[in-house]
Structure 1
Amino acid sequence: MVTAITDGVKISVETIYQDEHSKPANEHFMFAYRIEVENMSDHAIQLMRRKWFIFDSNGTVREVEGEGVVGIQPVIESGENYAYVSGCNLKTDMGSMRGNYTMHNLVLETSFKVEIPEFQLIVPYRLN
């Protein structure tokens, strides 16, 4: 698990290789990741946008951005957390992701960016 804290918002990421959804012979490696967003600040926040940088070990870099996560823009009260699971496919058996969330402070009416720490996407057999 990797973790980062930005402006009182803690992001923790775990990854799982999805063997049953992967087809290595077709250069299709599927990974799931679980992200927990913990609001350690004094104010309620809302996750408005996400931006991802996805790196394949063949040098390919993709950027993905959009509103919210998994179709919603969750409000996270002070002291609470929000978790979700999503996925990413790679053309190689190793890669990584990193990015940021745009959050909105619902009390101060300000927006700020929160770092999503870089995490590795590695097929288990590559770890031996």
Structure 2
Amino acid sequence: MVTAVTEGIQVSVEVTYQAEFSSPHQHHFVFTYKVTILNKSPYTVQLLKRKWEIYDAAETVKTVEGDGVVGQQPILETNESHSYVSGCNLKSGLGKMKGVYYMEKVVDGKSIEAQVPEFQMIANIFHN
């Protein structure tokens, strides 16, 4: 698990290689990742948008942007957390991701760019 904290917003990521959904011989590697966002700031915040950079050893960098996370724009009060699971397909068994969550303080609309820590995706194809 990797963690980053930006202005009291803690983002932790745990990644899992999904061997049962992958086909290494067809260059298809599936990973899931669980993200937990914990608001340690004294402000209520809302996650509005996300931006990911996805690095695959077999491809160039992909950038993915969109509203919220898995269809939600959670509002987090102080000491509240939000967790979700998402996934990523790679053409190689080696990659990494990092990103940013664009959030705002509910009280005054001020922006926070909460960093999503870089995490590695490594397929464990040599063990059963």
Report TM bin, short chain: over 0.9
- 1:85 aligns to what? 85
The 4+ residue runs of structure 1 with deviation greater than 4 A are none
* RMSD (Å), alpha carbons: 1.3
Query: How many equivalent residue pairs?
Result: 127
Query: TM-score if structure 2 supplies the norm length?
Result: 0.95
Instruction: Give the gaps of 5 or more residues in structure 2.
Output: none
- 1:73 aligns to what? 73
- 1:32 aligns to what? 32
Q: Classify the secondary structure of the residue corresponding to 1:124.
A: coil
- 1:58 aligns to what? 58
> Which stretch shows the higher mean deviation, 13-22 or 32-41?
13-22
Instruction: Give the gaps of 5 or more residues in structure 1.
Output: none
1:59 deviates by 4.5
Q: Classify the secondary structure of the residue corresponding to 2:25.
A: helix
After superposition, the Cα gap between the structure-2 partners of 1:126 and 1:2, relative to the gap in structure 1 and judged at 3 Å, is: farther
Identity of aligned residues (%): 47
Query: TM-score if structure 1 supplies the norm length?
Result: 0.95
Q: Classify the secondary structure of the residue corresponding to 2:107.
A: coil
After superposition, the Cα gap between the structure-2 partners of 1:97 and 1:126, relative to the gap in structure 1 and judged at 3 Å, is: farther
